[in-house]
Each structure stands twice: as C-alpha cells, then as structure tokens.
Amino acid sequence: MTLKEKIKTEEKIILAAEEIFLKKGFDGARMQEIANKASINKALLHYYYRSKDKLFLAVFRSLAPKIFPPVFRVLTTDLSFFEKIEQVIINYINLLKVNPRLPLFIMSELSKKSESIIEIMQETFENMDFNPLQLFKEELQNEIDKGNVINIDYQQLFVNIISLCIFPFVGKPILKIIGFENSEKEYDEFIENRKREVPKFIINSIKISK
C-alpha cells in the first residue's frame, strides 16, 4: 500500500467513525460497524487504530477544529461589536445545522472521557492564531467604557450566547413534539428564525438606549 493509499484509507476511517460516533456515541459504536462503513475489514481498522478509545480520540481531534475557530474568526474582523455578535450566532447556528448531533455528543462524552477531550480542546485553542474569549472580553469592555452596553460579565454573556444557540439542537426531540407537532419543516423554519431572533434578544438585553 502506497503512502497516498494509506492516507486515503485513514481519511475513510475517520469519516466513517465520525458518523457512527456522532449517531450512537462512544458506548453505542462498534468497531465492526465502523469498518463496514469505511468499506474495509476489521483487521485493517485495528491496524490503524488498535482500540475504540484511540479511534474515538482521533475522531474528536478531527472534530475539535470545526467547532470554534470558524465560528469565532469573525471577532478578528473590523465589524462593529453588535455585528460581530450577530455573525457569531449565525455562524454557530449554521455549524450546528450541518452537525446537529455535535453538541449532545460533546456533552455526553465529556462526562465519560473528560480528561482526554479537554486536553484536545486545549490543544485546539492553543493552535488558533487568536484567542476568541480574550478578544470578546476586550471588545465588550470597550463598549462598556463607551457607554454603549450595560456592565455585564463577559463570561456570562458568552455563555448566554452559546447556550441560546445550542439548546434547540440538544432539545430537538422534545421541542418538535411540544412546539411543532413533530413537524420537521416547522422545526427547520424555527431554527432559521433563530439566526435573527437570538442576536436581537442578546443585543437588546445589553444595549443602552441613547
């Protein structure tokens, strides 16, 4: 097998494992199912990854850069603070629409394999060429000093934004039943509207009227 073929095989394994892990979680995933999805035999899968734990960590390492860097890169632009809040929310909801199982997967697995996952997340932030939380803190403080927004803790505001984006995806099974009569179309329309409603709610909650 050439180096190019080995790389292609490894990519197939990671993509297959990512799909299975996101769908079934670590405990529900089976190496044979992942091998079948990647169209390889189980022996070859174990050649690349000797255990499910090692494969899981490789998958999470491939997922981590998709979660935060693309979403928060808007903080490095010349947009106004309120425009940045709006774009962060739109970016994050768009990411979750493409990867709707991602939030629940991360929260579920954090409680089981927190040390390894936290290390990977730390690596991800360390490898970024900017610090999103520090930028957010500085931008917020600048707006507070100008008298444009209320004096609010940056961590509280940051978590408020993330939580309002994540919950509709984590709570989708319940929300569909109690709010949308189990209609996927109505739920999708609701998610699309969140891209307008969440920025409006956040901005109105901190903006000082002049």
For tokens 């309120």, what's the residue?
82
What pLDDT, on the 0 to 100 scale, is given for residue 27?
A: 84
pLDDT band, residue 202 (cuts 50/70/90): very high
Query: What percent of the chain stands above pLDDT 90?
Result: 54
Residues 53 and 37 sit within 8 Å (Cβ to Cβ): no
Rounded Cα gap, residues 95 and 187, in angstroms: 16
Instruction: Please tell me the CATH code under which domain 68-210 is placed.
Output: 1.10.357.10
Least confidently predicted of 38-52, 72-86, 111-125, 129-143: 111-125
- Tell which wins on pLDDT, 53 or 104: 53
Into which CATH architecture does domain 1-62 fall?
Orthogonal Bundle (1.10)
Residue 207, helix vs strand vs coil: strand
Q: Is the pLDDT of residue 110 over 80?
A: no
Residue type, 173: P
If phi over 0 gives left and psi between -120 and 50 gives alpha, with beta otherwise, what is residue 80? Answer: beta
Beta bridge partners of 149: 207
What pLDDT, on the 0 to 100 scale, is given for residue 199?
A: 97
Among positive and negative, which fits the CA dihedral 58, 63, 4, 128? negative
pTM above 0.75, yes or no: yes
Report the number of secondary-structure helices (H) and strands (E) in the chain: 11, 0
Distance, C-alpha 112 to centroid of its chain: 18
Extract the tokens encoding 142.
């600048």
Contacts for 160 with CB less than 8 Å, ≥ 6 apart: 202
Residue type, 38: A
Q: Is the pLDDT of residue 29 over 70?
A: yes
Domain residue limits, the chain = 1-62, 68-210
